[in-house]
Structure 1
Amino acid sequence: MSEPVVQDPRPERRPKLAERLVAELRSQVVSGRLVAGQKLPTESRLTETFGVSRTVVREAIAALAADGLVEPRQGAGVFVVEQPTSAFSAISAELGNKISHALNVLEVRMGVEIESAGLAAQRRNSAQEARIYEAYTDFDRLLASRQATGKSDFAIHRAIAAATNNPFYVEVLDALGSRTIPCDVASPWGTESVLTVEYQVGLQREHWKIIKAISAGDAQGARDAMRSHLSASQQRYRDRLAGFDPAETAPGETAG
C-alpha cells in the first residue's frame, strides 16, 4: 500500500456530460435509490443539481428511455419503469442460483474485466486510483473483523471498471450485482468452507497484483493479473460442480 503511485502521462478520455449523467442516474436505478414507479426530478432540478444544460439532461433521459430504465409521460414527468427492459437488467433477472450459472457469470466477467483492468492502467486518474485503494483497504478492515467481504470485493472490481472512463464497463457489473462475487457469504453460492481467512487473504494477494499493475501503468500486467484472478475462480467452481470439496484447497490457493 505504501508503494509510490506511477501516473500515466497520457491524457485520460473524459466522458461527455450526458454520459456522466446517464451513468449516475442508471446507478441510482440499479442500486434502488430510485425505485420503480418513482418520478425523476424535474428537468430544471437536474440541471441545477448536476450543473449541466437542459440539452444534456434531455440527451441523458433519452438514453435511459432507450435502455428501458425510464418512461417519459407527457404532462406528468419521467418515471422509473416498473420492470426495466434493458438487456443488462434482463441478464440479471434471469440468472439462477446454480453453480453452473456462477460459471456463466465468471465467463462474462473474463470477457469484460480483463480488458477493463488494462484500460484502467492506461486511463485512470488519481481520484479513481484512490477509490480502488479505498475498496482494497475496506476489504482488509472487514476481513479483520470477520465480516462478509463481498461488498468490498465488488467495490474493488467496480472501481477498476470506473477507472476505464467507459461507463459501459460499470454498467455490466452493476447489472450482475451481487452475482458478481458468488463466493460471498450473502450469495446464493456462498458456503462457509470457501470463506476461510486463508482463502480471503489469498484473494487480497490477487487483488494487490492487479492494483499494483494498474498503479504502475502496466496495462498488460494488469490484464494478466486479472485473468489469473478470474481463472482461479472459474476452476474452483468447476471443481465444485464436479463434486470436489473446496475445503481441500490448500491455504493461499485461492480461486475466486
Structure 2
Amino acid sequence: MSATESSPALRRPKLADLVTGTLRRRIAAGEYDASGKLPTEGQMTTIFGVSRTVVREAIAALAADGLVQSRQGAGVFVVPSPASPFNALGAESANKISVAINVLEVRMGIEIEAAGLAAVRRSASQEAAIHEAWNEFGRLLKLGIPTGKTDFAFHRAIAAATNNPFYTEVLEALGSRTIPCDVASPWSTETVLSREYQAGLQREHRDIMEAISAQDAAAAREAMRQHLSRSQERYRARLRTV
C-alpha cells in the first residue's frame, strides 16, 4: 500500500460531506426536477438526521458548485445543468456498439484505479453497499429482470467507496452509456444478453467485490481490469457478427 492510499484518505468523512454527496447524487439522478425545489431545511434535518448547521453547510457546498440556488423567502432550487460534454458525445450514435467500446476504454482508465482505491479506503457501510448491489444483480438475474441499472449501481458503489467524488461524477456523467446493454439499447438485456452471459458478469463482479472486501488493492485493480477487458472483447465479438 502506498502512502498516497493510506491514512489521510481513511479519515471519516464529515456529516456535511455525506449530506452533500447524497444530494448531489439525487440531483444527478433526476430525483429533484431541474428548477425544482429541494426539501426545506427543516425537512432535511429529519431526512438526514443532522443539525440545521450541517444542512446549511451542505447546501452552501452545492451552491458553490453551481448545482443549487437559494431564493430569498422561497427556498433552495436545483439549477438546470448545461448540456454535458459527455451527453454531446454523438447522441445520435449512442446506440452503436463502437460507442460502447469507446466508453469501456474510458472506464478502464477510471475504474481500475477506483477499484484499488476502494479496497483501501472503503468504510464498512460502503463495502455493504457494494455487496447489496451485487446481491440485487443476482436477485434480478434469477427473476429474469434486466440487470443494467443494478450493474451500474455496483460500479457506482465502488466509485463512491474511493471517497473521491469525481469518480462518481464521471460515471454519472456517462449515464446510460456506462452500461450500454440495458433496456434503452438495441442490445438490450431483455432480448440479447443471455442468462449465462449475465451470470458471467456476476462472477466477474464477485471477484472485484471480494478483493475490495479483502482490502487487496492490487487484486481489486486486476479484477476490474479483467472484467472491463472481457467486456470490451465481448462487444468486439458482437461487432464482428453484426
Q: Which runs of 5+ in 2 are unaligned?
A: 1-5
2:87 matched to 1:93?
yes
- Report the Cα distance in structure 2 between the residues aligned to 1:102 and 1:176, rounded to whole angstroms: 11
TM-score, reference length from structure 2: 0.82
Contact 1:129 1:215 in 2 (8 A): yes
Q: 1:220 to 1:64 in 2, by over 3 A?
A: same
Q: Higher mean Cα deviation, 188-197 or 57-66?
A: 188-197
User: Which residue matches 1:152?
Assistant: 150
2:236 matched to 1:244?
no
Pick aligned residue for 1:110 from 108, 111, 125: 108
- Report the Cα distance in structure 1 between the residues aligned to 2:164 and 2:145, rounded to whole angstroms: 32
User: Which residue matches 1:73?
Assistant: 71
User: Which residue matches 1:253?
Assistant: none
- Report the Cα distance in structure 2 between the residues aligned to 1:186 and 1:119, rounded to whole angstroms: 31
- Report the Cα distance in structure 1 between the residues aligned to 2:87 and 2:237, rounded to whole angstroms: 26
Residue 48 of structure 1: CA displacement? 4.8
Q: 1:111 to 1:16 in 2, by over 3 A?
A: farther
The one-letter code matched in structure 2 to 1:94 is A
Contact 1:91 1:176 in 2 (8 A): no
- Report the Cα distance in structure 1 between the residues aligned to 2:69 and 2:135, rounded to whole angstroms: 39
- Report the Cα distance in structure 2 between the residues aligned to 1:18 and 1:35, rounded to whole angstroms: 22
Q: 1:14 to 1:214 in 2, by over 3 A?
A: same
2:81 matched to 1:84?
yes
Q: 1:60 to 1:201 in 2, by over 3 A?
A: same
- Report the Cα distance in structure 1 between the residues aligned to 2:18 and 2:52, rounded to whole angstroms: 14
Q: 1:63 to 1:103 in 2, by over 3 A?
A: farther
Residue 42 of structure 1: CA displacement? 3.0
Residue 136 of structure 1: CA displacement? 1.4
User: Which residue matches 1:176?
Assistant: 174
- Report the Cα distance in structure 2 between the residues aligned to 1:203 and 1:234, rounded to whole angstroms: 12
User: Which residue matches 1:64?
Assistant: 62
Contact 1:117 1:210 in 2 (8 A): yes
Q: What is the Cα-based RMSD across aligned positions, in Å? A: 2.7
Alignment of 1:181-196 (within 5 A): 181-190=179-188, 194-196=192-194
- Moved segments of 4+, more than 6 Å: none
Q: Higher mean Cα deviation, 126-135 or 195-204?
A: 126-135
Q: Deviations over 1:40-63 (max 9, x none)?
A: 233344345434454543332233
Residue 139 of structure 1: CA displacement? 1.4
The one-letter code matched in structure 2 to 1:154 is F
The one-letter code matched in structure 1 to 2:170 is V
Contact 1:184 1:195 in 2 (8 A): no
- Report the Cα distance in structure 1 between the residues aligned to 2:205 and 2:112, rounded to whole angstroms: 13
Q: Which runs of 5+ in 1 are unaligned?
A: 1-8, 247-256
Residue 227 of structure 1: CA displacement? 0.9
Q: Helix, strand or coil: the match of 2:70? A: strand
The one-letter code matched in structure 1 to 2:206 is W
Residue 101 of structure 1: CA displacement? 2.8
Q: How many residues align?
A: 232
Q: What is the aligned-residue identity percentage?
A: 65
User: Which residue matches 1:213?
Assistant: 211
Q: Higher mean Cα deviation, 19-28 or 165-174?
A: 165-174
The one-letter code matched in structure 2 to 1:208 is R
